[in-house]
Structure 1
Amino acid sequence: MRNYWYVFLIAFRLGCTSFGGPAAHIGYFRQEYVVKRKWLDEQTYASLVALANFLPGPASSQVGIAIGTLRAGIGGGFFAWLGFTLPSVFLLTVFAFLINRHGFEQASWIQSLKLVAVAVVAQAVFDMSKKLAPDRLRQSIVLAVAAFVLVLEQPFIQIIALIISGMIGYFAYQKEHNDFVAVTFSLSKRTGIIAFGLFFILLLILPILNASTSSELLHLFDGMYRTGSLVFGGGHVVLPLLEQEVAINKDVFLAGYALTQAMPGPLFTFASYVGTVMYGIGGAVIATTGIFLPAFLLIIGGLSFWNILQRKHAVRIALLGVNAGVVGILLAALYDPIFTDTIKSDVDIVLVLFYFMLFQVWKVAPWKIILLALLIGLFIL
């Protein structure tokens, strides 16, 4: 239980401070789990990011679940998810009760915190590229994947880019001696089969149950579960899918989505806001559970077979290309949507460079930089 509490507290702090969307979360996680705590190495971390990108659902949350599972088993994965998700769920539930429509998401301190996210992702790209793309071929993969993802803005493009990167790695590094140390997850193949089985059973059974009953909460759970099962490409894709599933005032819906962009933590917690607007606290619990449950089942299933796959030579050399592709995806995200949505003036650029210097050169702890950014946003911007 002590390990669970430890995992929860670290994830909770990340949930309170990780502004900027999924790509920024990957940067924050890397800083906390790889650089600071050394729970896993750079290659393993990039491989987990790649695995999460292959699965539907919130990639950053799935990476957090994977790291929690590595540290303390399935229970650790659950508490890592709970800690990271809880702050945003709480805030959005409160806002749903207040129905705040006063442009809170445009507050200057929110903008300052988003600028920290730009610096975090830039630092992650800079450091990961040095370790995961040390030669010209992998550097070329990074740039090619970034261009590919930016030009072809479709949800499945990231998966295609990673598959191509893996194929290049497989054929180019046949004679490469890979010193990658496989990380073992305490999950059996049976666990994986059960997780995947539950995922597909619920995906098939819930619509049938929903059609045969008039329960509004079951209808909400079914809609959220289907949404969480079908979303590729990050939390931004949730908006059009949920808009088809729920019947609430459009202005209230869009106001909540705007507020979600301003919150730390995963964008999927928008479901908590929708559930609260529709059915109060019970709706928030049902909606949040429904939309995140597929991600949890899929990542646990994936990790159960990851133990076997990562030990195969063919997979390990393919991962040399895949990991470079992950850096390319982060590089693309650094530009769009992070840079394009966040940088609005020359002052913003100056602050990003300042925060990057604190991270990269002076190695200031992230929580101190976030506190400084908050003060700059409140009293200077």
Structure 2
Amino acid sequence: MSKQPSTLTFLLDVLICSLGAFGGPEAHYGVFTQQMVAKKKYLSEEELLELIALTQVLPGPSSTQTIIAIGYKIGGPKLGFLTLLVWALPIVSFMTLLAVLFEFFTSNNISLDFVRYVSAMAVGFILVAAIKINRKVIKDKLTVFLLLLSALTTYFIRDAWIYPTMLVFGGFLSVVTHHRKAIWTQVRISPKWIYLWVFIAFALGNLGLSLTISHPLIVLFEKFYRYGYLVIGGGQVVIPLMYNELVESFKYLSSEEFLLGFGFIQGMPGPMFSFSAFVGGLALRESGSLMQVLAGFISALGIFLPGTLLIYFVYPIWEQIKKIDGIQVALRGILAVAGGFILVAAVILLSKVGLDSLNITVIVFTTLALWYNKIPAPLIVLSVLTLGFIL
């Protein structure tokens, strides 16, 4: 990064990422690679991959934590918080509105056909990110081995625990095969404990309040805050937990309503955790529109807050400990494993979109446009959405 960007400039880039981030966390990383790395050079491919690896072992929304950490890196805690708002607020607002107007949408059979080619576009974003990132992390036979091993392992085993396990294994193997032995130097670490204490205070305080006060907004905040810190792996992983509790146990909404909202979020840009705004808003439909709006935003706040507090606590520590020679050695393996995650995400999504002629055309168009930087990412998104409207 040649010079410090203005807050407004950086947040505009975050908004571009938010409005172009279709397809889940892996596709989001492709958007970050294009906008934050290749175009604006706020950080390098290696630094982005470090953040991706770091957020894989933390509870919370991984792509959201990644972009918050980028904001923190550029401008400290304040910019990190503003980054969260700009990244999440557009889709949270839309999903809250969808909950309020749910009856209108369902009775008029609003079609989502215009987003039919978004998944194919997301494949293009991921392919370009995978190529650009893996060109940086592949350095020798060990990194090639770890990249292929992580890709194959996570293709066949998709449970949340496999990702942190593979990252730890990659770092461990890189250290034990390193020729130098005196690599564990000392550094001074100054943890910002306040964020950890606030995280714990909310967890315990919410539980106590929900047991003593039955106000629906407090109950919803407690539930979504708990979802936010119990889940490693992002929005796709939290969906079954939300379904079991909110649909099957508490009957806040029906299975059909839950799945309809989930289908809608698949075609929308931004973080998957914003689905919480729809579920929370719909849960209080009998309490009036104002309560629905409050419930939507409070539910979203609840699910995003724990991951934000944790990345605020962990990121500064990471910046300090990665100066240790041993951590730098471990990073060689960790980044290779993370590169495998990105690679297999492209393969998995490619297998899901269907290889008809139009999808292949969209994939090739997106990949070439991004690779040669001929068309800005927002125009690519607009072009693909327009194609969905026309055809």
TM-score under structure 1 length normalisation: 0.91
Q: 1:197 to 1:189 in 2, by over 3 A?
A: farther
Partner of residue 250, structure 1: 255
CA contact (8 A) 1:173 1:317 kept: yes
| Structure-2 separation of matches of 1:52 and 1:241 | 20
| Structure-2 separation of matches of 1:363 and 1:103 | 39
Q: Which runs of 5+ in 1 are unaligned?
A: 179-187
| Structure-1 separation of matches of 2:193 and 2:241 | 28
Q: In the TM superposition, what are the counterparts of 1:55-70 in structure 2 within 5 Å?
A: 55-70=58-73
Q: Which runs of 5+ in 2 are unaligned?
A: 247-251, 285-291
Deviations for 1:102-140, whole angstroms, at most 9, x for unmatched residues?
798973431223221110000010111111113222112
Q: In the TM superposition, what are the counterparts of 1:135-150 in structure 2 within 5 Å?
A: 135-150=140-155
Are 1:349 and 2:354 an aligned pair?
A: no
CA contact (8 A) 2:92 2:274 kept: yes
CA contact (8 A) 1:129 1:139 kept: no
Partner of residue 287, structure 2: none
Partner of residue 264, structure 1: 269
Deviations for 1:147-174, whole angstroms, at most 9, x for unmatched residues?
1111112111111011111112212334
Q: CA RMSD in A?
A: 2.4
| Counterpart AA for 1:44 | E
Q: Which moved more, 1:207-216 or 1:257-266?
A: 207-216
Partner of residue 351, structure 2: 340
| Counterpart AA for 1:263 | M
Structure 1 residue 98: Cα displacement: 2.0
| Structure-2 separation of matches of 1:106 and 1:329 | 33
Are 1:47 and 2:50 an aligned pair?
A: yes
Q: 1:48 to 1:372 in 2, by over 3 A?
A: same
Partner of residue 216, structure 1: 216
Partner of residue 171, structure 1: 176
Are 1:307 and 2:312 an aligned pair?
A: no
Deviations for 1:265-316, whole angstroms, at most 9, x for unmatched residues?
0000000111211231110121011000011001011112112211101111
Aligned residues: 370
Q: 1:140 to 1:190 in 2, by over 3 A?
A: closer
**Correspondent of 2:83 among 76, 80, 85:** 80
CA contact (8 A) 1:142 1:328 kept: yes
Deviations for 1:80-112, whole angstroms, at most 9, x for unmatched residues?
111111221122122112213379897343122
**Correspondent of 2:135 among 130, 155, 178:** 130
Partner of residue 165, structure 2: 160
Q: 1:171 to 1:191 in 2, by over 3 A?
A: closer
How much identity, in percent, do the aligned residues show?
29
Q: Which moved more, 1:362-371 or 1:223-232?
A: 362-371
Q: 1:93 to 1:359 in 2, by over 3 A?
A: same
Q: 1:127 to 1:189 in 2, by over 3 A?
A: same
Structure 1 residue 217: Cα displacement: 1.0
| Structure-1 separation of matches of 2:354 and 2:293 | 36
Structure 1 residue 342: Cα displacement: 2.2
Q: 1:172 to 1:102 in 2, by over 3 A?
A: farther
Partner of residue 15, structure 1: 18
| Counterpart AA for 1:120 | F
| Counterpart AA for 1:222 | E
Q: Name the SS for the 2:116 alignment partner.
A: helix
| Structure-2 separation of matches of 1:142 and 1:104 | 45
**Correspondent of 1:366 among 362, 372, 377:** 377
Partner of residue 202, structure 1: 202
Partner of residue 183, structure 1: none
Q: 1:296 to 1:105 in 2, by over 3 A?
A: farther
Q: 1:207 to 1:136 in 2, by over 3 A?
A: same
Deviations for 1:55-76, whole angstroms, at most 9, x for unmatched residues?
0111000001000111111111
Are 1:278 and 2:296 an aligned pair?
A: no
| Counterpart AA for 2:159 | Q
Q: 1:11 to 1:164 in 2, by over 3 A?
A: same
| Structure-2 separation of matches of 1:230 and 1:106 | 34
| Structure-2 separation of matches of 1:45 and 1:370 | 22
Q: Name the SS for the 1:134 alignment partner.
A: coil
Q: Name the SS for the 2:176 alignment partner.
A: helix
Partner of residue 34, structure 1: 37
CA contact (8 A) 1:105 1:261 kept: no
| Counterpart AA for 2:115 | I
| Counterpart AA for 2:193 | I
| Counterpart AA for 1:72 | G
| Structure-2 separation of matches of 1:309 and 1:343 | 44
| Structure-1 separation of matches of 2:151 and 2:307 | 25
CA contact (8 A) 1:101 1:255 kept: no
**Correspondent of 2:339 among 323, 327, 352:** 327
TM-score under structure 2 length normalisation: 0.89
CA contact (8 A) 1:105 1:262 kept: no
Partner of residue 291, structure 1: 303
| Structure-2 separation of matches of 1:341 and 1:222 | 35
Q: Which moved more, 1:240-249 or 1:211-220?
A: 240-249
Q: 1:264 to 1:250 in 2, by over 3 A?
A: same
| Structure-1 separation of matches of 2:30 and 2:224 | 27
Partner of residue 96, structure 2: 93
CA contact (8 A) 1:125 1:327 kept: yes
| Structure-2 separation of matches of 1:217 and 1:344 | 45
CA contact (8 A) 1:15 1:265 kept: yes
Q: 1:375 to 1:5 in 2, by over 3 A?
A: same
Structure 1 residue 339: Cα displacement: 1.9
